Amino acid sequence: MTEPAVRPRSALRTAHVHRAHLPVFGKVFTDSWRSLIGWGLGLAAAASLYLPIFPSMNGNAQMQELINSLPPELTRSINYDQIGTGPGYVQATLFGLIGFMLLSIAGIAWGAAALGGDEESGQLELTLAHGVTRVQVALSRYAALVVKILGLTALTCVLVLLWNGPAELSIDGSNLLGTGMLFGGLILLSASVALFCGALTGRRIWGIGGGAAVAVVGYVFNAIGNQSSNVEWLHALSPYYWAFGHTPLSSGANWGTVVVFSLVSVGLGVATAGVLRHRDVGV
C-alpha cells in the first residue's frame, strides 16, 4: 500500500486562500461603514425633528400670518409658498433643504475622497499595486458611491413614510417614490461630478469644488429664478429646479428627469474611468 502523496505546504496554503468578489467595491464599505451610519442617524434626527411638528403648524393662524407677512419673492425663493400642505412642507423642509444639504455634503465628500483624496494620500498607488486595473478601481468606487447615496435616499423615504400618518402629512406613496428618485438623482449628480474632478486632477479639493458648484449654483439659480419672470430662464440651468420645480411630492415626478439624472451620472462614472486610465497617478 502506497503512502498518499504529501502536498507541499505552499500548495495547501494556496488552496485555502479565499478571494473576495469585488474586493475594491467591498473595501469601500469596510472603510466607511461608520460614516454611513452617522449620516443615516443625521437624516433620521432631521426627519424626526421637522416632520412631527407639521400638525401644530397646519392651521396655525399666527404661523400663516407670519408667512403672509414675508415678501412673496422671499417665500418663493425658499420654497415656502406651499408650506401649508403636508407634501409642500416635506418638500420645502426635508427634501429641498435639510435633507438636500446633508446628503449633498456626504455625497460630495465621498466622491471627492474616492480617487482624488486617495491619490493625495498615496493610497491609490498602493491599491493599483494589488493586481487591479485603473478602470476596475474607478468603476468600483463609482458603484459604491451609487449604493451609498441610494441607501440614504431610501432611508429618507422610509422616514417620511413612517411619519406620514402620525404627522398628518397626507403624502401619496407613488409621489413619494418619484420624489425620492429625483432627490437621489440630484445628489448623485453632484457626487459624480466630485468623483470625476477628483480623478481628473488627483486632488480632493478640486473634487469638492466641482461637486459643490453643481449643488450650490443649482440651488441659487432656482432661488433667483423664483423671484421674477425676468430671470425665470435661470431655471433651465438649475438641476435643483429640474428635480423640485414642479412640486413632485404634490403633483407626481417627471420620470424623464430621473432618466436624465441617471444617464448623466453613469456618463460621468464612465468618463472617470477613462480619465484615470490615461493619466499619470501620483504626480
pLDDT digits (tens, 9 = 90+) for 17-32: 555 667 788 888 888 8
Q: Which three cell numbers stand for residue 81?
A: 409658498
Q: What is the pLDDT of residues 197-232, one digit of tens each?
A: 999 999 999 999 999 999 999 999 999 998 888 899
Mean pLDDT of 77-98: 86
State the Cα–Cα distance between residues 58 and 278, nearest whole angstrom. Answer: 57
15, pLDDT greater than 90: no
State the Cα–Cα distance between residues 153 and 165, nearest whole angstrom. Answer: 20
State the Cα–Cα distance between residues 67 and 76, nearest whole angstrom. Answer: 11
Q: What pLDDT score does 2 carry?
A: 46
- Between 2-6, 175-179, 250-254, the lowest mean confidence (pLDDT) is in 2-6
State the Cα–Cα distance between residues 154 and 265, nearest whole angstrom. Answer: 18
Q: Do 191 and 108 form a contact (C-beta atoms < 8 A)?
A: yes
The percentage of residues in the chain with a pLDDT greater than 90, rounded to a whole number, is 64
Residue 75: Cβ within 10 Å count: 18
The single-letter DSSP state of residue 8 is P
CA distance from start to end of the chain? 64
DSSP 93-149: IIIIIIHHHHHHHHHHHHHHIIIIIHHHHTHHHHHHTTS--HHHHHHHHHHHHHHHH
Q: What pLDDT score does 229 carry?
A: 85
Q: What is the pLDDT of residues 146-163, one digit of tens each?
A: 999 999 999 999 999 999
| HSE-up (13 A, CA, CB side) for residue 225 | 18
